[in-house]
Structure 1
Amino acid sequence: MCFTLGVGLYSSRISLNVLGFEDYGLYDLVTGVVMVFSFLQSSLMVTSTRFFNLALSENNNSHLKDVFGSALYLHRQFALLLFLASETLGIWFLNYRLNISDTKLLEANILFQFSTLSLMFLVTQIPYQSIILAREKMLAFAYISVLEALLKLLVPVALIWVGNIQYKVAIYGGLVFSVGVIIRLIYRNYCRNEFQETRTTAVGNKDIVKKMRTFFGWDLYKKFSEILLVQGVKVNLNLFYGVIINSSVAIANQAQGGIAAFVNNFTSAIRPQTTQSFVTKEFKKLNAIIDQGTRIGFFLLYVVCVPVIFNAEFVFSLWLGNVPGFAVEFFKLGICAVLISVITYPVLMTIEASEKMKWMSFTCGTLNIIGLIAGYYLLKAGYPETTPFIIKIIIEAVFFVFYVLYLKKVVYYQFQIRHFLLKVILRIATVVICSVTLLYWFNNAVLDAESFFRLILNFAICLFTTVLLGFRKAEINYGFNLIILKLRQKR
Structure 2
Amino acid sequence: MDSRNNRIARNTVMLYVRMLLIMAVTLYTSRVVLQTLGAEDYGIYNVVGGVVAMLGFLNNSMAIATQRFLNYEMGKGGGENLFKVFSMSFISYCIIAIVVFVLSETIGLWFILNKLVIPSERLSAAVWIYQFSILTIIFNLLSVPYNAAIIAHERMSAFAYISVLEVVGKLVMAYLITVSPIDKLIFYGLLMCLISLIVRLVYSRYCKIHFEECRVRWIWDKKLLKQLFGFSGWMLAGTSSHLFTTQGVNFLVNMFFGPVMNTARAISMQVYNAMNSFALNFMMATRPQIVKAYVQNDYRYMYKLIFSSTKFSFILLLLLSLPILLHTDYILVLWLGQVPEYTSLFVQLTIIDLLISSSFSPIASLSQASGKIKNYQLIISIGYCLIFIVTWILYRESFLAYATCFVSIIINLIGVFARVFELNYSQCFPTVAYIKQVLFPIFISFLVVFLISCFFKSVLVVENSIVCLLLNTSIYWGITCIIVWALVLDSNERKMARNMVYKTIHKLTFK
CA deviation after TM superposition for structure 1 residue 6, in Å: 0.9
**Partner SS for 1:5:** helix
Residue 9 of structure 1: aligned partner:
27
Please list, as runs of the form range in 1=range in 2, the aligned pairs for 1:14-53 lying within 5 A after superposition: 14-33=32-51, 41-53=59-71
Match of 1:226 in 2: 242
Identify which of 278, 285, 289 aligns with 1:273: 289
**Residue 95 of structure 1: aligned partner:** 113
Distance in 2 between residues matched to 1:138 and 1:214, nearest whole Å:
28
Alignment partner of 1:477 out of 486, 498, 507: 498
Matches within 5 A, 1:167-186: 167-186=183-202
What is the match of residue 76 of structure 1?
94
Give the alignment partner of residue 258 of structure 2, picking from 229, 242, 256. Answer: 242
Output one character per residue of 1:65-101: Cα deviation in whole Å (capped at 9) or x when no partner.
Answer: 1111111111111111110110011100000010111
Q: 1:38 to 1:447 in 2, by over 3 A?
A: closer
Q: Does structure 2 retain, via aligned residues, the 8 Å contact 1:316–1:328?
A: yes
Q: C-alpha separation between the residues in 1 aligned to 2:416 and 2:380?
A: 11
Q: How does 1:108-147 map to 2 (within 5 A)?
A: 108-147=126-165
Match of 2:342 in 1: 326
Distance 1:223 1:434 in 2: 33
Amino acid at match of 1:70: M
Distance (Å, rounded) in 1 between the aligned partners of 2:271 and 2:497:
30
Once residues 56 and 317 of structure 2 are traced to their aligned partners in structure 1, the CA distance between those partners, rounded to angstroms, is 25
Poorly superposed stretches of 4+, deviation over 4 Å: 33-40
Tell me the residue number matched to 1:192.
208
- Aligned residue identity for 2:286: I
User: How high is the sequence identity, in percent, across the aligned residues?
Assistant: 29
Q: Which amino acid aligns with 1:120?
A: I
1:421 pairs, out of 435, 439, 449, with 435
Partners in 1 of 2:289 and 2:160 — Cα distance? 19
Q: Counterpart of 1:365? A: 381
Q: Match for 2:80: what amino acid?
A: S
Question: Shift of residue 211 of structure 1?
Answer: 0.5
Which residue number corresponds to residue 455 of structure 2?
Answer: 441
Residue in 1 that maps onto 2:227: 211
Residue 63 of structure 1 pairs with residue 81 of structure 2: yes
Distance across 1 between alignment mates of 2:398 and 2:294: 48
Per-residue CA deviations over 1:254-306 (Å, capped at 9, x if unaligned) read 12211221221111111111111122221110111111100111111110111
Instruction: Give the Å deviation of 1:24.
Output: 0.6
Which residue in the other structure is 2:412 paired with? 396
- Alignment check: 8 A CA contact 1:72 1:203 kept: no
**Residue aligned with 1:100, SS:** coil
- Do structure 1's residue 336 and structure 2's residue 352 form an aligned pair? yes
Bigger mean CA offset, 295-304 vs 245-254: 245-254
CA displacement, residues 84-139 of structure 1 (integer Å, 9 cap, x when unaligned):
11001110000001011111111111111110000000000110100000111111
Does the 8 Å contact 1:275/1:349 carry over to 2? yes
Q: Is the 8 A contact 1:45 1:126 kept in 2?
A: yes
Cα gap change, 1:50 to 1:80, in 2 (>3 Å): same
Aligned partner of residue 371 in structure 2, secondary structure: coil
Supply the distance in 2 between the matched residues of 1:304 and 1:43 (Cα, whole angstroms).
24
> Shift of the alpha carbon at 1:49?
1.1
Is contact 1:41–1:123 with CA below 8 Å preserved after alignment?
yes
Question: In 2, are the aligned partners of 1:39 and 1:220 still within 8 Å (CA)?
Answer: no
**Contact 1:301 1:339 survives alignment (8 Å):** yes
> How far 1:34 sits from its partner (Å)?
6.1
Deviation at 1:460, TM superposition (A): 1.9
Aligned residue runs from structure 1 range 278-357, under 5 A: 278-357=294-373
Q: Counterpart amino acid of 1:436?
A: F
Contact persistence 2:245–2:385 (CA under 8 A): yes
- State how far apart, in whole Å, the 1-side matches of 2:173 and 2:243 are: 26
Distance apart, 1:238 and its partner CA: 0.7
How big is the shift at 1:35? 6.2
Match among 422, 426, 434 for residue 410 of structure 1: 426
Q: Are positions 1:374 and 2:395 aligned together?
A: no
TM normalised by structure 1 equals 0.95
Mapped partners of 2:61, 2:273: distance in 1: 19
Query: In the aligned structure 2, how far is the partner of 1:142 from the partner of 1:487?
Result: 19
For the 8 Å contact 1:237–1:385, the answer to whether it is kept is yes
Pairwise CA RMSD of aligned residues?
Answer: 1.8
- Letter paired with 1:20: G
Distance 1:61 1:158 in 2: 48
Change (3 A) 1:468 1:5: same
Superposition deviation, residue 57 in structure 1 = 1.1
Corresponding residue number in structure 2 for 1:464:
478
Q: Deviations over 1:382-409 (max 9, x none)?
A: 1111101111111211111011111111
- The CA deviation at 1:202 is 4.5
Asked if structure 1 preserves the Cα contact closer than 8 Å seen for 2:90 and 2:216, the reply is no
In 1, Cα distance between the equivalents of 2:120 and 2:223? 50
Structure 1 residue 203: deviation in Å?
A: 3.4
Higher mean displacement: 221-230 or 11-20: 221-230
**Aligned match of 2:13:** none
Once the two structures are TM-superposed, the CA of residue 55 in structure 1 deviates from its matched residue by 1.5
Given that residues 76 and 295 in structure 2 are in contact (C-alpha distance below 8 angstroms), is that contact kept between their aligned partners in structure 1? no
The 1:40–1:431 alpha-carbon spacing in structure 2 relative to 1, beyond 3 Å, is: closer
Deviation at 1:33, TM superposition (A): 4.8
State the alpha-carbon separation in 2 of the partners of residues 147 and 310 from structure 1.
Answer: 34
- How far apart, CA to CA, are the structure 2 residues paired with 1:7 and 1:39? 20
* Corresponding residue SS for 1:351: helix
Tell me the SS of whatever aligns to 1:128: helix
Deviations 1:307-344 (A, max 9, x none): 11111111110111111111221111111111111122
Aligned partner of 1:26: which letter?
I
8 Å contact from structure 1 (residues 37, 85) kept in 2 = no
Gaps of 5+ in 2: 1-18
Residues 433 and 36 of structure 1: is their aligned pair in 2 closer, same or farther, counting only changes over 3 Å? closer
Task: Summarize deviations over 1:6-31 as a string: whole Å, max 9, x none.
Answer: 11111111111111111111100112
Q: Is the 8 A contact 2:379 2:415 kept in 1?
A: no
| Alpha-carbon distance between aligned partners in 1 of 2:160 and 2:133, rounded to the nearest angstrom | 24
What's the counterpart of residue 273 of structure 2?
257
The letter for the 2-side match of 1:30 is: V
Change (3 A) 1:348 1:37: closer
Distance 1:380 1:447 in 2: 43
**AA aligned opposite 2:28:** Y
